Amino acid sequence: RLSSERLKALDTAHHLHPFTDYKALGEEGSRIITEADGIYIQDAEGNRMLDAMAGLWCVNLGYGRQELVDAATAQLQQLPYYNNFFKTTHPPAVELAETLCRLAPKHMNRVFFTGSGSEANDTVVRMVRHYWALKGKPEKQWIIARENAYHGSTLAGMSLGGMAAMHGQGGPAVPAITHVRQPYWFTEGRDMSPDAFGQACADAIEERILELGEDKVAAFIAEPVQGAGGAIIPPQSYWPAVKKMLAKYDILLVADEVICGFGRLGEWFGSEHYGLEPDLMPVAKGLSSGYLPIGGVLVGDRVAQTLIEDGGEFFHGFTYSGHPTCAAVALKNLQLMEAEGVVEHVRDEVGPYLAQRWKELEQHPLVGEARSLGLIGALEIVADKAAGKRFDKTLGVGNLCRDICFDTGLVMRSVGDTMVISPPLVITKAQIDELVGLATAALDETARRLQA
């Protein structure tokens, strides 16, 4: 095996990483992760870290599950690849479709498979517009999404996303997609009560619908809890108000469950936590616990019926839609989650325990808010707690804290000065204690360096 130094040098020389400032890699290069077990990862120098991000919000069953390796191996031997085009299919895709629809809300009985969450959201854009055309309303084209949202990196995924940095690069976005304010009370709403702010954010959607024309809007897309934007848990008033308003204007609801799906919020799908009945649910990540790439769009009966009965052929699909080996691993992953009661573990055990332990971090001088729901959480780092004032952006305090976390044996993500966690769902209470201890140590060290 190549030495760690050699790997780093070759990586810097040849590898263009996603979401990485190439210049900032500098002398130090990338951290090379070589192995993992349970909720811990290890780098080439032998440093072990508690992975409180579950990779990229996906390794829900934790690392090193032999059952998933065996499922992949058996499928690779039997039928490594075949497709689902032109009236063919294979057992793993069929069984996964049935299992997913059984676990999904009652009105969702069909699934379209993709290779990733981004492809799932590309599928959503084409599917909702196709749906309205089939209904004889081709003028319903606009899709309303939210500022600061992340829905993927393909052209349609980034267009649905509301990240200014992404829109600033790579040319024009897909037309007829617009963004409204996000229900991010801590940064945008503290001049109001959370519930008044949640209502104001829902009202902003209605205002946009009226600006665009009430018969011109096809769909609204959002995550139940916004992940990559900073683990943004909306005020209680938000979703009921949004739901009511979408029904009023006959607009489809797309709940992006790529992060919230498969137990993250303590229900199989985040939509269930908020009592949503989405028309479409893009999924990925936790579907296979990240062991192999697979995604899909769960389709509610209303849309499915029109696609099937009025639609004929939908000219859309991917070589790897429902890839048999990925589907076999996803199926085994869901079976293990059911057999081991992973969703209940999050809802009844570790979710409430994290909520209690995480909240204690609000005692720390740097923490303006500590919030969590199920197993997603965030810390807002502030310069002045009473005023909720942030540090100067140029200090890069969030990234400093993230790097200190790495050095102290914890993977946390920074979104500006918001520190985010989304640990594997199999985490235990003792490991939550360890996580909170490591986070506290990293915050202390961050404070010390800021004073130095």
Q: What are the residues binding ligand PLP (CB under 6 A)?
A: 56, 116-118, 121, 150-152, 157, 223, 227-228, 256, 258-259, 284, 295
For the sheet containing 108-114, what is the strand order?
108-114, 295-300, 280-283, 252-255, 217-222, 142-146, 177-180
Nearer residue to ligand PLP within complex by CB, 62 or 117 = 117
Taking the least distance from each CB to ligand PLP, the nearer of 55 and 194 is 55
Closer residue to ligand PLP, CB minimum distance, 206 or 256: 256
Q: How far is the CB of 18 from ligand PLP (least distance, A)?
A: 9
Complex with ligand PLP: residue 56 or 173, whichever CB lies closer? 56
For the CB of residue 147, give the shortest distance to ligand PLP in the complex, in Å.
14
SS (H, E, C) the chain: CCCHHHHHHHHHHHCCCCCCCHHHHCCCCCCCEEEEEECEEEECCCCEEEECCHHHHCCCCCECCHHHHHHHHHHHHHCCCCCCCCCCCCHHHHHHHHHHHHHCCCCEEEEEEECCHHHHHHHHHHHHHHHHHHCCCCCCCEEEEECCCCCCCCHHHHHHCCCHHHHCCCCCCCCCEEEECCCCHHHHCCCCCHHHHHHHHHHHHHHHHHHHCCCCEEEEEECCCECCCCCECCCCCHHHHHHHHHHHCCCEEEECCCCCCCCCCCCCCHHHHCCCCCCEEEECHHHHCCCCCCEEEEEEHHHHHHHHHHHCCCCCCCCCCCCHHHHHHHHHHHHHHHHCCHHHHHHHHHHHHHHHHHHHHHHCCCEEEEEEECCEEEEEECCECCCCECCCHHHCHHHHHHHHHHHHCEECEEECCEEEECCCCCCCHHHHHHHHHHHHHHHHHHHHHHHC
Taking the complex as a whole, the smallest distance from the CB of residue 180 to ligand PLP amounts, in Å, to 17
In the complex, minimum distance from the CB of residue 154 to ligand PLP, in angstroms, rounded to a whole number: 7
Residue 255 CB, nearest approach to ligand PLP (Å): 10
Residue nearest to ligand PLP (CB): 117
Q: Which of 328, 326, 351, 335 is nearest to 426 (CA)?
A: 351
State the nearest-atom distance from the C-beta of 153 to ligand PLP, in Å. 6
Closest approach of ligand PLP to the CB of residue 97, in Å: 19
Nearer to ligand PLP, 51 or 206 (CB): 51
Instruction: Give the residue with the Cβ less far from ligand PLP, 68 or 376.
Output: 376
In whole angstroms, the minimum distance from the beta carbon of 437 to ligand PLP comes to 28
What is the number of other CB atoms lying within 10 angstroms of the CB of residue 382?
20
Query: What's the token pair of residue 122?
Result: 């590309």
- Pick 177 or 443: Cβ nearer ligand PLP: 177
Residue 152 or 266 having the CB closest to ligand PLP:
152
Min CB(174)–ligand PLP separation in Å: 15
Choice between 165 and 452, CB closer to ligand PLP? 165
Residue 324, CA distances (Å) to 89, 98, 315, 319 in order: 9, 14, 21, 11
Smallest distance from the beta carbon of 257 to ligand PLP, in angstroms? 8
CB nearer to ligand PLP: give 116 or 418. Answer: 116
